[in-house]
Amino acid sequence: MEGEYNLEPETPDKPKAAVVLVWLRELVQVVAPALLLALTVHLFLAQATVVYGQSMEPNLSQFQRLIIDKLSYRLHSPARNDIVVISLPHMDEMLVKRIVGLPGETVALLNGQVWINGEPVPEPFPHDLAFQDMPPRRLGPLEYFVLGDNRSNSNDSRSFGPIPREYIVGRVWLRYWPLSQFAYF
């Protein structure tokens, strides 16, 4: 009929295989860069993790979700009181602990108090003082002494010793879950 227009483009029917190949190519062009970006972020910049156990209470509680900053320690050394995630070769899960002793320092635990180089260390958070004394121990050039904030319920450097720098995965950067307890560290 005169005056009618065909709004469909005039193209020959493509074989189904060609349509599938075009679709797959476009999918790869979108998904491959996204996966590469996600892998790069996970390996070098940041990683999500979950707190298991009570060793960091009252500051971090079981099942809270955290983002670990992996980049900072490529640029500078870990500092005292940083909350870090460590991966020990003999354990399946990663641990969240606080850095107390730095490389080259002498750490001791006496009467519920942490001592560094013969001086008591003021600690900004309350904790149970009921833990065993530990004689002075000098840390190696790349060793750190870590403790859980909940001293009476923590598997930390008191039991497995100082940790080498390479076991530190990264610094806890933020708590994102539960949302009501969102915080930067």
Radius of gyration over every alpha carbon of the chain, rounded to an integer in angstroms: 26
Q: Which residues contact 35 (CB under 8 A, 6 or more apart)?
A: none
Q: CA–CA separation, 8 vs 167, rounded Å?
A: 62
Active site annotation includes 97: yes
Q: Which residues contact 83 (CB under 8 A, 6 or more apart)?
A: 56, 59, 60, 96, 97, 98, 99, 171, 172, 185
In degrees and rounded to multiples of 5, residue 23 shows phi and psi of -60, -45
| Token pair in block for residue 139 | 């840390």
Selecting among 55, 70, 154, 157, the annotated active-site residue is: 55
Selecting among 16, 72, 77, 97, the annotated active-site residue is: 97
| Token pair in block for residue 26 | 């476009």
In degrees and rounded to multiples of 5, residue 14 shows phi and psi of -85, 145
Active site annotation includes 55: yes
Catalytic residue IDs: 55, 97
